[in-house]
Structure 1
Amino acid sequence: MGIIQPANQFALDATLTRQEFAEWSIKLLQLDNVAKYKDIYKLNFADASSIDPAYTGYIALANGMGLIDAQQNNFNATKSVSYADLAVSTVRLAKAIQENKVDRNFYY
């Protein structure tokens, strides 16, 4: 589906950062063609300068859609996604998929 890049081995013990999760969420919603134009987005987080520019569009969209919240006006892009973050964001993402009628088939 193009959400996760193929690799020789999937790193089960690797942490997932908030900026990576934003990218995955937006790709799942099939909005990556919009997110890749990172120069049109402005991030108003106090820690915006610490965000990898490659994730700017993904973070702007994920935050703007309410999928991933800021934490006291910081995005904390390199912070690991907690199970609580993942649970809340997954429910929000499922709602966004349903509302936007994203055509994703998760069966073969």
Structure 2
Amino acid sequence: MFFQIIQGVFTGVEALALLAFAGITLGGSAVGLALSTPLFILFSPILVPATIATTLLTTGFTTSGGLGMVALRIFWKLFKRLRKKGKGTPKIPGLAPGAPDSDPVSGG
């Protein structure tokens, strides 16, 4: 019982500390945003096109890389399938190696 009370007290203190850190972080973020807003407004003719260009470049590189990886994967699977086909015909149970295909092996 005593251990649970101590554990509850420590948990409460930790929760209050984390809540205080969250408040400090929120306050710092608000002050930082208030101080940097004039800079963003001043440099927006440069930042907006730069952001658009960076987004388009990143999207293009990511898309081309992804499509290239998919193409390589398709070629690899095709290569493995063709290599497997060249090893021989699949074994059919009940069919003798020299028997013609039209004759049944067992008269079931």
Name the TM tier (shorter chain): under 0.3
Answer 1 or 2: which has greater helix percent: 2
Q: Using CA pairs below 8 Å that are at least 6 residues apart, which structure has the higher relative contact order?
A: 1
